[in-house]
A and B are shown apart, each in its own frame.
Chain A
Amino acid sequence: MMLRIKRVPTVVSNYQKDEGEDAARRGGGCGRNCLQKCCIPGAKLPLYTFKRAEEIPGDKCVLEHDDNQAPVAFLDSLLLGQWEDRMQRGLFRYDVTACETKVIPGRCGFMAQLNEGRHLKKRPTEFRVDKVLQPFDGNKFNFTKVGQEEVLFQFDASEDGEVHFFPDAPVDADSSPSVVAINVSPIEYGHVLLIPRILECLPQRIDRESFLLALYMAIEAGNPYFRLGYNSLGAFATINHLHFQAYYLAVPFPIEKAPTRKVTTLGDGVKISELFDYPVRGLVFEGGNTLQDLSNAVSDACIFLQDNNIPHNVLIADCGKRIFLLPQQALGEVSSELLDTQVNPAVWEISGHMVLKRKKDYEEASEENAWRLLAEVSLSEERFEEVKALIFEACSYTLSEKEDEHLTQGAGDDKPPLEGTGSINKGRNCNMVSGTQECLVLQ
């Protein structure tokens, strides 16, 4: 029996319609200035190219402006300017800054926003939510259908190791561009969608390259109040076209303030901790000898979860220095009471930012309610321990593979040896176990 859930979807684009109405049925050029073959040739969008980590000398990515006190980074400035521009052009369904917001009293500091316009007032659409991996369906809404005016800029790695900005660059379909677009129903100011390799129409699932792109965006923006989030299918993603969300909120999220307990350090320097005293159980990834190490550790963990049909959310915080991974309960097991409130605990809610559509809910919002809501989707302690162990196995196996490659490639390999590993040996898993005191003992 297939599990379905009746939800009220959020409109993220002005071109999003009921899945029944298919724009492809109209023959030829659609005249809507979208991102499909009909309109792409000749299209131009601003292009921002970032410097890759290898080109930054010294320690990885310790940028001068990774702070709320340093000058506004250019990407930050570009994104905000473009967003404000679309705001003034009336592309958003409402002014999110006119929505009242407050911190719910309590020790966690959950945030609540009263936003009556966010959700559609119409018949809900059905969406299969018991499978984390589902193939891309061109008939359903996807981001190639958005209007070009909803796209703020293209975002890709630079060819020559320097940051560049081109206010008017042609959209080159062959180079598989990634873009940043607005979310027309924003949760907060600056709410955007990062769509990696948009024309490839990837389904909502993590791969190493795309995750690294998202991490670069967090770093380039250089603003600890700009975070990126990811929802897998089954963890309240609404569109099955690979995308990350991001927005600005100039206060720490409760999840960022939650205490953590260190669990282990991987051989490549990635430190993994777990949250405690927080309604949702999850892991925090930090460090890593290189940016790629950190990115790959998280990606591999996500790939493991999605391959094993475990829904999950990811939050990239602190300018890319801290990444939270939160596996969720399978939806079939979530109480109907929760589903009725229509507050879907996706990454932002789990991080502590709740958007409420009813005044009553906003006024009665309490830390207790918020905690209970989030605790519903958390894995149980036992299940979390199981999943945690499996994630580490997945991360360490990948590490072994990488080292085997390293050994067989021999001299001339441009990748520097992993630091602090001592002698490289087959039993990599063991190294991870003995590294620190409180880690899991794997079989």
Chain B
Amino acid sequence: MEPPQLGLIEQSFNSRYSNWAREALDELPDNFTITDPCISGHPIVFASRGFLKMSGYSRDQVVGRNGRMFQGPNTCRRSVMEIREAIREERGVEISLLNYRKDGTPFWMLFRMTPVFGKDEGRVIHFVAVQVPILRRRQRRRNGEGLCGEILSNSCRREVCSSSSVELAGVSAADSDCRVTALEIEEKCEASDTEKQLAATAIRNVLSVLTHYSESTGRLVCEKRFGPSFVSSSLHISLGRIKQSFVLVDPHLPDIPIVYASDAFLRMTGYARNEVLGQNCRFLTGVDTDPSALHQIKQSIQAQQACSVRILHYRKDKSSFWNLLHISPVRNATGKIAYFVGVQIEEGSVDRHGLSPEMRQLSVVGSIKVAVRISSP
């Protein structure tokens, strides 16, 4: 999977927080990452120095990648699922997780994640995730061979360190405390109260920097959702997986506006996202667009049916193209129509898998139906 363009990553951060934000975040001793669920692939857009040290990667190797890169064969799948669902439901989660460093060594850490909402949009802008390495402590063991010594020394070390929280937070990859033997990986590792406190403090630190530095850009962020949102961020994440050009329109709102537009749509038409959201699709039509094609679209929407039309559309730069457009109703959990999807294919484009344009469009419709099916109004 190719990582999203760095431009988008930079934009994610810079449009929200002033330049000083990066410096302030870099001054925090905590291990944390900031991710953007609205960029396809839900990539990391910022990784703290502490995080990079803990994981053994450089900034370039991490920014633009998804958090799963730190998971490995012994990472508990159920825990991964819990995190995935928290993201989808736009809420926080705190869970112990086994991660892997660049050199392949596994380590347990307390993973705590919280959403950051945009005040204007009312939807999740970023997720902040904090990672506190869990130090080994005395474990209940029936098989006493060979582990007691290691465990005792670990817990001794921990007692010494517990007074100094900064040192714990800044645990480096070189510390053998966190390294896990083959047997230990099997045991689920619970975090201590101290470690949980560290996580809570770290989250507070990061959030206060973000909130503070968002004020100067005027695009405030906050910890709680504020006001209604058009398309939830969980739907954003599902829709972001679809690489083709499409839009979702809401037939229940006045003038049937676009409530979601894929990146491919924006590339095809030359518009920016904020220029199309909230607008009716008619901005794509122009002087030579056949009115009967428009009529057919309108009728299908009224009849709540799917249709395919070949229609002349115009890009932002006024150039025209033949659009093989497919429109279909999409229902949500109530069983009623929530949106209509419009999938655009530029006539003459070729699919690398040999799928016909029709089949490509239908697969987009299918993926969207699966995503919207379980969402409630």
A residues with a Cβ closer than 8 A to B are 59, 62, 64-65, 67-72, 74, 76-85, 88, 95, 97-102, 165-167, 188-190, 224-225, 248-252, 256-257, 260, 262, 265, 286-287, 318, 321-322, 420, 436-437
Contacts and interface: CB of A to CB of B under 8 A. Distances in A.
B242 A72 contact: yes
Contact of B77 (A74, A165, A318): A318
Contacts of A102: 333
A69 B77 contact: no
A256 B241 contact: no
Interface residues on B, range: 35 or more
Contact of A225 (B143, B369, B370): B370
Nearest to B305: A88
B72 to A, nearest CB: 8
B44 to A, nearest CB: 12
16 contacts: A67-B66, A70-B41, A71-B243, A78-B355, A80-B366, A80-B367, A80-B369, A81-B360, A97-B331, A97-B369, A97-B373, A98-B331, A100-B334, A250-B371, A250-B373, A252-B81
B73 A72 contact: no
Contact of A436 (B186, B336, B354): B186
A155 B78 CA distance: 29
Interface string B340-351: 000000000000
B84 A165 contact: no
Given A68-B241, A69-B240, A71-B1, A189 B370 contact: yes
A84 B1 contact: no
Contact of A69 (B85, B237, B373): B237
A113 to B, nearest CB: 9
Contact of B366 (A65, A81, A252, A286): A81
B13 to A, nearest CB: 19
Nearest to B360: A81
Given A69-B66, A250-B238, A256-B81, A82 B374 contact: no
B322 to A, nearest CB: 21
Most A C-beta atoms less than 10 A away, residue of B73, B306, B363: B363
B96 to A, nearest CB: 14
Contacts of A286: 77
The 6 closest A-B pairs by CB, nearest first: A80-B366, A81-B363, A81-B362, A84-B362, A77-B363, A100-B335
B364 to A, nearest CB: 8
Contacts, number: 144
A322 B77 contact: yes
Interface in B41-73: 41-42, 66, 68, 72-73
Given A71-B1, A72-B241, A250-B238, A224 B363 contact: no
Contacts of B353: 74, 78, 165
Nearest to A258: B78
Contacts of A69: 41-42, 66, 68, 237, 240-241
B253 interface: no
B240 A72 contact: no
Contact of B363 (A78, A256, A260, A321): A78
B366 to A, nearest CB: 3
Contact of A84 (B40, B242, B366): B366
A252 B333 contact: no
B69 to A, nearest CB: 10
A242 B110 CA distance: 45
B142 A437 contact: yes
B88 interface: yes
A154 to B, nearest CB: 15
B113 to A, nearest CB: 14
B168 interface: no
A295 B237 CA distance: 31
Interface in B241-260: 241-243
A103 B370 CA distance: 16
Most B C-beta atoms less than 10 A away, residue of A64, A250, A260, A265: A250
